[in-house]
Amino acid sequence: MTSSNDGKISELKKIIATSDKIVAFTGAGFSAESGISTFRGAGGLWSRYDPNIYANINIFMQDSSYYWNFFKDERYPVIKKAKPNDGHYVLVELEKLGKLYRVITQNIDGLHQVAGQSDVIELHGNTRKIYCLNCEKTYNLDETYKLLQKELPPKCSCGGNLKPGTILFGEPLPQAALEMARIAAQNCDLFLVLGSSLVVYPAASMPRIAKNNGATLVIINIDPTPMDEIADLVINNSASKILSTVIKRG
Ligand SMILES: [Zn+2]
């Protein structure tokens, strides 16, 4: 940790110590530290796979084999191997201490739950929860992988088509999750942004909602974000490193 961060880290310690209704808002940068490649930007998945073909709801409904090939070659091996990082575990610790109000995530890898987080608001769904469009039977990652080795696109035991539990391009965001996230942002005393560049809606709107309702806003992200100017504290560093410096796991 560089010395320029020392002052900010002690400030963050103080803020966390005096907060007891913390909302943690996690984005792609948080999962990147678990080896999950990001979607956007140079080298991101979408630079190799056009999301308007491989992850678009209209194409998916016509021919889901694009998505399932992408799942088989790119998503399954990465998600299967990924493990929660220190940051995920620190948030579980904050929950145990009774200081964490909600976790809101833009990530679809389900790593918060793997780490033991009980209550996660998922704005873009979850890759691990696959379901049948016909009978709504659910399948996990391994079950789906087995099915798609037999046939592609994979089929439910009822013959129906399977769909990932993620929100594809062209699909509306899950309204219930969005509403819960808004309520959490309105009612927290600390809104902690962790590894999100805050450029995609609704991520971009949440810090302002929190701030307008009296919360302290802290942003920990490798790069600057458009919300830095309204934040009480900005730390341009790895969120999991900073968190594990500030909070010791029990
Ligand atoms: Zn079915």
Q: Can you give the C-alpha Rg of the chain in angstroms?
A: 19
The DSSP letter of residue 234 is E
Residue-averaged pLDDT of the chain: 93
Is residue 233's pLDDT more than 60? Answer: yes
Task: Tell me what the mean pLDDT of segment 136-160 comes to.
Answer: 95
For residue 162, report the distance from its CA to the centre of ligand 1, in Å.
8
The beta strand positions in the chain, using DSSP E, are 22-26, 100-105, 120-122, 125-132, 138-139, 162-166, 190-194, 216-220, 233-235
What's the pLDDT at 38?
Answer: 75
For residue 240, report the distance from its CA to the centre of ligand 1, in Å.
39
Local confidence band at 239 (pLDDT 50, 70, 90 cut-offs): very high
Four-CA torsion 116, 119, 121, 124, nearest 10 degrees: 40
CA distances from 242 to 13, 140, 211, 237, 238 (A): 10, 33, 22, 7, 6
Neighbour-count burial of 174, counting CB atoms closer than 10 A to its CB (0-12 exposed, 13-18 middle, 19+ buried): middle
Give the side-chain half-sphere CA count within 13 A for 213.
17
For residue 154, report the distance from its CA to the centre of ligand 1, in Å.
11
The DSSP letter of residue 116 is T
Rounded Cα gap, residues 106 and 203, in angstroms = 8
Would you report the helix, strand and coil content of the chain in percent, each value rounded to 5?
45, 20, 35
Task: Tell me what the mean pLDDT of segment 94-123 comes to.
Answer: 96
Task: Tell me what the mean pLDDT of segment 189-198 comes to.
Answer: 97
Local confidence band at 44 (pLDDT 50, 70, 90 cut-offs): confident
For residue 86, report the distance from its CA to the centre of ligand 1, in Å.
38
Task: Check if the beta carbon of residue 84 is closer than 8 Å to that of residue 109.
Answer: no
What's the pLDDT at 47?
Answer: 83
Is residue 40's pLDDT more than 80? Answer: no
Is residue 3's pLDDT more than 60? Answer: no
pTM attached to this predicted model = 0.93
Instruction: Determine what percent of the chain is predicted with pLDDT higher than 70.
Output: 97
Copy the structure tokens of residue 82.
Answer: 């990924």
Each residue of 89-99: pLDDT tens digit? 999 999 999 99
Instruction: Determine what percent of the chain is predicted with pLDDT higher than 90.
Output: 84
- Please, what is the Cα angle at 175 between 170 and 176, to 5 degrees? 145
Is residue 2's pLDDT more than 60? Answer: no
Is residue 120's pLDDT more than 70? Answer: yes
For residue 239, report the distance from its CA to the centre of ligand 1, in Å.
40
The DSSP letter of residue 33 is T
Task: Check if the beta carbon of residue 16 is closer than 8 Å to that of residue 247.
Answer: yes
Determine if the peptide bond prior to 202 is cis (ω within 30°). Answer: yes
CB under 5 Å of ion ligand 1: residues: 132, 134-135, 137, 156, 158, 160
What's the pLDDT at 1?
Answer: 52
Task: Tell me what the mean pLDDT of segment 49-55 comes to.
Answer: 89
For residue 106, report the distance from its CA to the centre of ligand 1, in Å.
28
Residues belonging to the active site: 124
What's the pLDDT at 249?
Answer: 67
For residue 137, report the distance from its CA to the centre of ligand 1, in Å.
5
What's the pLDDT at 37?
Answer: 77
One-letter-per-residue 3-state SS of 157-206: CCCCEEEEEECCECCCCCHHHHHHHHHHHHHCCEEEEECCCCCCCCHHHH
Task: Tell me what the mean pLDDT of segment 54-83 comes to.
Answer: 94
For residue 118, report the distance from its CA to the centre of ligand 1, in Å.
28
For residue 161, report the distance from its CA to the centre of ligand 1, in Å.
7
What's the pLDDT at 4?
Answer: 67
